[in-house]
Structure formats: C-alpha cells, structure tokens
Amino acid sequence: MSASNDHSPVSTPLPTAAAKAFPADFVWGVATSAFQIEGAHDADGKGPSIWDTFCRQPGVIADASNGDVACEHYARLDEDLDLIRDLGVQAYRFSVSWPRVRPTGDGEWNEAGLAFYERLVDGLIARGLKPYLTLNHWDLPQALQDRGGWGDRATVDRFVEYAMGIARRLGHKVVSIATHNEPWVVAQLGHEKGVFAPGLKDRRLAAQVSHHLLLSHGLAITAMRALELKASLGIVLNMAPMYPASDTDEDRAAARLEDGRLRRWYMDPLFNGRYPVDVLHDLGEDAPRVSPGDLDQIRVPIDFVGINYYSRGVISATGAFDNKTSGLELTDMGWEVYPQGLTDLLVSVHRDYPGVKRLYVTENGGAFPDPLGSDGRVHDADRTRYLDTHIAAVGDAIAQGVPMGGYMVWSLLDNFEWASGYEKRFGIVHVDYATQQRTPKDSALAYRDFVRAQLSARQD
Ligand code: FCB
C-alpha cells in the first residue's frame, strides 16, 4: 500500500479505542475470505463451488454479479500482501477455497491450488504477519453438493480429509486454524431461507446441516490435534445479543428463543455436549437426527472461539420491531450501529461458557457507501467511527475480565458481499473494480496509526 508514503497520518486515530487498555499479547488484524476476493474461479484446475453455481441463478445476487473476477486477489497476491504489511497490522485472517485445493471434494488434490495458499502463508510470514486460516468460509465444492452437500453425512468425512490435507501442508506454519465460518449462515441462509448458496428452503434439512457442520468440526479438530501442530484450533461463529423489544413476557421469551437459535444452538453442543432443549422443542419434527456418540465428538476441547459481530438483534414476539425507528445510525446493510452490543455479547459468552479459553473478534466492520473523492481519498468518517467505538467496546469487555486474544477488521478490501454483490463496501481499502486499483480509505489510515501506537506503547 502506498498509505505510509502518500497520505499524512491521522492525528488522533480512534480516540475512544485509544483510551482503553489491551493486553500485551493482543493481536490486531484484518480479514477476508477466499470466494469474496480471489476471482480466478476456474484457474489452474480449481473446481466450481456452490457459490459459483448459485451466482448463476437469475435474481439471487443484487447486482447480478458473481465471484469470477472479484478483487483478482489470486493474481495480485504479492501486491495485496504488501498492502497488509503496510497497514502495520500483525495478523491476516483468510480462508482456503476447498474446490481450489481439491476440486471435487474427494479424489485428486490440486497442487496448483495448494501452492497458492503456501505462497500466501509464506508471503505473510516473510512480511512478519501471522496467518489465521479458516477452512470453510462457505465455498463447498459443487461436486459434493451434487451428492447432497452438508445434508449428507458423508460430507462430514470429506471435510475431515480436507482439514487434514491443509493441516499437513500448512498447519505447522499458520498460527490458527478455524474449522468453519458462521455455520448458522450456511444452515439458515443457505438451507432454510434459501438466500445464500446452495439456495434451499427446507427447515428440517437446515437443522441436519447444522448438526453435520458441528460434527465435522469436532472430528476435524480431533484429527488435526493428532498432528501436534503449534496452531491454535477453533471455530468462528456469528453472534448478536438478542434484546427484547419491550419488557413483556412474550418479547422476553421471543428474544431468548432467538438467542437459542443463533448462539446456544452452536455453543451448547460445542461446550456442554447437548442441544438446547427449547430450540429442540421449537424444531419439533424438524430436529436433526443425531447418532450415538455425535455429541461427544462435537464437544472436544478447542483453543478459541472467534466471534463475528456486526449488530444487535431486537426481538418482538409479533415481529413488529423496525430498526429504522430505533434512532440509531444504520449502516449501508441497514444494520444498527450498536457497539455496546459487542461488550454485552463478549461478557455474556464468557459468563455462560466457562469452557471458552479465549475469544477473538474475527470479524467486525461496517458497509458504508463512501465514494472515492476527487482528491483520490475516501473520507469514510462513518467507518472510522464504527471501528473506534467497536474496538473500544472490546476494551470494555477486557476490563470486565473477558479473555480476548485479538480483533480483526472486516474487511481488508471492498469485495463480493454475497447476495449483495459488489454494491456493499466493507473494505478499509477501496477497490475500483474496473481497474482493480486499491486505495486505503481514511479508516485504514486511522486503524494503521492506532495499531502502530498500540504496538509502540508495548515496547516502552
Ligand atoms: C459475515 C461473513 C463475511 C462478510 C460479513 C459482512 O457474515 O462471514 O464473509 O460477508 O458477514
């Protein structure tokens, strides 16, 4: 990035966050995922993923786009690694595209794909950056979907093979491996609501998918543990604290059930070895089929839980809550800006699940439409404020005793925002999709200066 040369430093970067205390081993990073940035959808032997297929269905992506080109990260790897280095962060969270390294999900491995991720990891290490690897950020090989995808128990075994292939190749170089990113999204948005790949609308299937994702997590962790890697092993979940819209019993019960669906459904089996009774009851006949021993396999010790946080939930029993009336600032996604929710969430996860050893914020950020100005800059004061107040909220959780390991901004680059296509921009670096020009936004410069100040304070 040219940020350190071309732009003057921001004088008071992230002032609210700067007033908080972060531990000396706290890791500052940025995050992306493979499908959202790589492009090169059929290069060098890559197989199609369910997202390649889904994008080709008319009407499912807001701007009728796809991931064929995206940010051309596959071809621009070195430039992007330099960009991350010049941001001065310590860590980069990325995902591996399963069909790039094993095109049909079983059978032959694709050496060109593996070599790409090896170059990525080696390139990070050479630049002094810590690689945080995610195995499944949603881009399942289409060939496995053709045989039932996550609804088919055999996919669990394929995932364990995939995890082991990556762990053997890269596990001794990366600092962290997460099995899945946001299994709730895969199950609910992909298989119940049908708005994400593979676009199915079947509640029973969605529940079964969530069970298979959790089972594959546990089995992959157990298999990878046997390799005695130095990397921390864990999982990344999306969470939002659920607040009742009013103080009525009905709204409180509705908020509790929603918390069950989003958070307890995943955290209870991971840490307590059971599915929450209230959610099972709500699912009724649609509850997943669980084989004897599955829950023991899911509840294996892990080193961390990554939390992706964007906003809160406000739940009313009648579904009547409209966040446009809350008076809070909304992002371009229509999500409320609510930093206090991040503190509340982290504190509650620590309180409710004493088995959690370490928490990371593995994604946090905001979509805002700020354009590239005639001065060649992006003055995204809204995003800068968002980062400032949310990092401060992490500081407040730390002050309350939550064992936090790090914070990663979503996202390094503007990128393919799933069903929203390229219309929503989450990057702290602007991408001009016509030229692939990267321009650090003001938020990137503020984050850079904030991290620099944090790290230099450690040396004093
Ligand atoms: C999360 C996803 C990530 C990104 C952000 C905005 O749910 O993990 O890929 O799309 O939302």
Residue 362 CA to residue 409 CA, distance in Å, equals 7
In this prediction, residue 21 has a pLDDT band, given cuts at 50, 70 and 90, of very high
In this predicted structure, the answer to whether residue 296 has a pLDDT above a threshold of 60 is yes
pLDDT of residue 133: 99
Contact criterion met (CB below 8 Å) for 99 and 61: no
Minimum-distance ligand 1 atom for the alpha carbon of 365: 6
pLDDT of residue 117: 99
If you measure from the C-alpha of residue 417 to the centroid of ligand 1, how many angstroms do you get, rounded to a whole number? 7
In this predicted structure, the answer to whether residue 138 has a pLDDT above a threshold of 90 is yes
pLDDT of residue 4: 42
> In terms of Cα–Cα distance, which of 407, 411, 447 is closest to 429?
411
In this predicted structure, the answer to whether residue 10 has a pLDDT above a threshold of 80 is no
Contact criterion met (CB below 8 Å) for 12 and 445: no
If you measure from the C-alpha of residue 285 to the centroid of ligand 1, how many angstroms do you get, rounded to a whole number? 31
pLDDT in tens, 373-410: 999 999 999 999 999 999 999 999 999 999 999 999 99
Residue 157 CA to residue 176 CA, distance in Å, equals 22
> In terms of Cα–Cα distance, which of 447, 340, 354 is closest to 396?
340
What is the full DSSP assignment across 194-244? -SSTT----HHHHHHHHHHHHHHHHHHHHHHHTT--SSEEEEEEE---EEE
If you measure from the C-alpha of residue 40 to the centroid of ligand 1, how many angstroms do you get, rounded to a whole number? 20
pLDDT in tens, 70-88: 999 999 999 999 999 999 9
Residue 35, phi-psi category: left (phi > 0), alpha (psi -120 to 50), beta (remainder)? alpha
Residue 47 CA to residue 3 CA, distance in Å, equals 36
- Domain boundaries of the chain, sorted by first residue: 3-459
287, with CB counted inside 10 A (0-12, 13-18, 19+), is middle
Among 417, 423, 425, residue to substitute to test ligand 1 (most atoms within 8 Å of Cβ): 417
In this predicted structure, the answer to whether residue 11 has a pLDDT above a threshold of 70 is no
Q: What is the mean pLDDT of residues 294-300?
A: 98
Residue 365: its H or E element: none
Q: Average per-residue pLDDT in the chain?
A: 97
Among 32, 73, 363, 424, residue to substitute to test ligand 1 (most atoms within 8 Å of Cβ): 363
If you measure from the C-alpha of residue 454 to the centroid of ligand 1, how many angstroms do you get, rounded to a whole number? 26
pLDDT of residue 320: 79
pLDDT in tens, 197-243: 999 999 999 999 999 999 999 999 999 999 999 999 999 999 999 99
In this predicted structure, the answer to whether residue 1 has a pLDDT above a threshold of 50 is no
Number of H helices, E strands in the chain: 18, 12
- What percent of the chain has pLDDT above 70? 98
> In terms of Cα–Cα distance, which of 305, 297, 140, 141 is closest to 223?
297
pLDDT in tens, 173-189: 999 999 999 999 999 99
Is the link from the previous residue into 198 a cis peptide, with omega within 30 of 0?
yes
pLDDT of residue 79: 98
> In terms of Cα–Cα distance, which of 313, 401, 409 is closest to 361?
409
Residue 146 CA to residue 160 CA, distance in Å, equals 19
If you measure from the C-alpha of residue 154 to the centroid of ligand 1, how many angstroms do you get, rounded to a whole number? 27
Catalytic residues: 182, 363
Protein residues whose CB sits closer than 6 Å to any atom of ligand 1: 33, 36, 181-182, 185, 238, 308, 363, 410, 417-418, 426
Among 93, 136, 139, 182, residue to substitute to test ligand 1 (most atoms within 8 Å of Cβ): 182
pLDDT in tens, 342-351: 999 999 999 9
Q: What is the mean pLDDT of residues 153-158?
A: 98
pLDDT of residue 321: 84
Pick the CATH number of 3-459 from 3.20.20.80, 3.30.70.920, 3.40.50.261, 3.30.1360.120: 3.20.20.80
In this predicted structure, the answer to whether residue 3 has a pLDDT above a threshold of 60 is no
In this prediction, residue 244 has a pLDDT band, given cuts at 50, 70 and 90, of very high
In this predicted structure, the answer to whether residue 8 has a pLDDT above a threshold of 70 is no
What phi and psi values does residue 429 have, to the nearest 5 degrees?
Answer: -120, 125
pLDDT of residue 9: 52
